[in-house]
C-alpha cells in the first residue's frame, strides 16, 4: 500500500510540475502555456493577470488567436474549455514584423511586463516574436 501511495504521489508531482508551465526544453522559456490543456491555460493566464508581480520578467510562450483592440494594441486571446470565456495578453513585437490578422492562430513568445495608462494596469509581452 505504501508503494502504491508513493507511486501515485510521484506521478502527481511529475504531472503538476510539467503542468505548471516551466519549460522542460533547453529553451529559455519560463512559462510555456503551449503544453497545457485549455482549462489550465485559461486558469494560468487569469492568475498572471491577478498576480502580475509573480510573473514580471519571465519569458512566456502562449498560443491563441490574434486580436487587435481599440487603440491598435495586439493581443493573444485564449479561451476556456467551453470556448465561452476569454482572457488575453497584449504583445509588442520586437522586430518590424507584420502583425497577424484578427482571428489568426498564433504562438507568441515574449517577456511578461505591466504598464500603467491612466488609472489602469495593463499586461503585455514585450520584445515578442511569433513562432
- pLDDT tens, 29-67? 999 999 998 888 888 888 998 999 999 999 999 999 999
pLDDT, position 16: 38
| Mean local confidence (pLDDT), 79-95 | 85
Q: What is the rounded average pLDDT for all residues in the chain?
A: 80
Percent helix, strand and coil across the chain, each to the nearest 5 = 30, 40, 35
**Are 46 and 87 a contacting pair, CB within 8 Å?**
yes
pLDDT tens-digit readout, 6-18: 333 333 333 333 4
- pLDDT of 68: 93
Amino acid at each position: 500500500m505504501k508503494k502504491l501511495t508513493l507511486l501515485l504521489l510521484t506521478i502527481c508531482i511529475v504531472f503538476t510540475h510539467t503542468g505548471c508551465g516551466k519549460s522542460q526544453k533547453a529553451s529559455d522559456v519560463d512559462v510555456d502555456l503551449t503544453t497545457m490543456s485549455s482549462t489550465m491555460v485559461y486558469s494560468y493566464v487569469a492568475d498572471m493577470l491577478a498576480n502580475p508581480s509573480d510573473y514580471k520578467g519571465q519569458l512566456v510562450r502562449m498560443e491563441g488567436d490574434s486580436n487587435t483592440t481599440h487603440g491598435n494594441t495586439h493581443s493573444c486571446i485564449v479561451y476556456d474549455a467551453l470556448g465561452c470565456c476569454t482572457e488575453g495578453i497584449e504583445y509588442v513585437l520586437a522586430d518590424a514584423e507584420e502583425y497577424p490578422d484578427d482571428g489568426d492562430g498564433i504562438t507568441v513568445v515574449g517577456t511578461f511586463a505591466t504598464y500603467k495608462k491612466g488609472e489602469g494596469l495593463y499586461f503585455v509581452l514585450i520584445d515578442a516574436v511569433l513562432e
